[in-house]
Structure 1
Amino acid sequence: MKIIRSKSFTGDRAWAALDIANMNGITTRLHWTDQPYKWHVNDGQEVFVVLDGQVQMRYRENGVEQATLLEVGDIFYAAVGTEHVAHPQGAARVLVIETQGSV
């Protein structure tokens, strides 16, 4: 049993992570960041949930870059092959569920 107070989690660097669970190769991690990630494509599907702050999610569909602002409670689902990058607007905490070892 584990209780995690996400609002109190901070990292010593951007995209610092707290491992919450690994269920048959699917990881659930809490991230703290105040810096953008990098453009990437995950090895599998990804679920990205904003718990605190705002994150501008940029993604490419058919070679065209698009962006949407994710607020607290919003969920971004990246299917296999979805190129994307998260740009927090200040500090943010996000829950990421993805295949273990994914970028």
Structure 2
Amino acid sequence: MKIINSKKFTGNKAWDALDITKFNTTTIRLHWTDQPYIWHVNDGEEVFAVVDGIVNMYYKEDGLTKNVLLNVGDIFFASIGTEHVAHPQGEARILVIEQEGSI
């Protein structure tokens, strides 16, 4: 059993992660960041849930770049092939569920 106070987790650098658990080849990690990530496509599906802060999520759909502002409690689901990048607005903590080894 684990109890994690997500608001107390802070990384040493942007996108540091606290590994919570793994189910078969799926990882569940809590990320801390104050910097944007990079444009990328995951090897599998990804669930991205904001647990603290605000994140501007950019994604490409039908050749167009779109964005959505994610607040605490909001969830972004990236299906296979969805190119996306997260831009936190200040500090943010994000629960990410994805295939092990995804970038």
**How would you bin the TM-score normalised by the shorter chain?**
over 0.9
Deviation at 1:98, TM superposition (A): 0.1
Q: Distance in 2 between matches of 1:39 and 1:63?
A: 14
What residue number does 1:57 align with? 57
Question: Normalization by structure 1: what TM-score?
Answer: 0.99
Alignment pair present for 1:30 and 2:20: no
> Which residue in the other structure is 2:8 paired with?
8
Residue 75 of structure 2 is matched in structure 1 by 75
Q: CA shift at 1:62, angstroms?
A: 1.1
Structure 1 residue 63 displacement after superposition:
1.0
- Sequence identity (%): 67
Q: Which residue matches 2:90?
A: 90
User: What runs of 5+ residues in structure 2 fail to find an aligned partner?
Assistant: none
Give, in whole Å, the separation in 1 of the partners of 2:98 and 2:21. 11
Q: CA RMSD in A?
A: 0.3
3-state SS in 2 of match to 1:7: helix
TM-score by length of 2: 0.99
Matched, 1:40 2:40: yes
The structural deviation recorded for 1:57 is 0.2
- Spell out, residue by residue over 1:7-54, the C-alpha distance to the aligned partner (whole angstroms, 9 max, x if none): 000000000000000101100000000000000000000000000000
CA distance in 1, matches of 2:67, 2:90: 17
**What is the rounded CA distance, in whole Å, between the counterparts of 1:63 and 1:12 in structure 2?**
35
| Runs of at least 4 residues off by over 3 Å | none
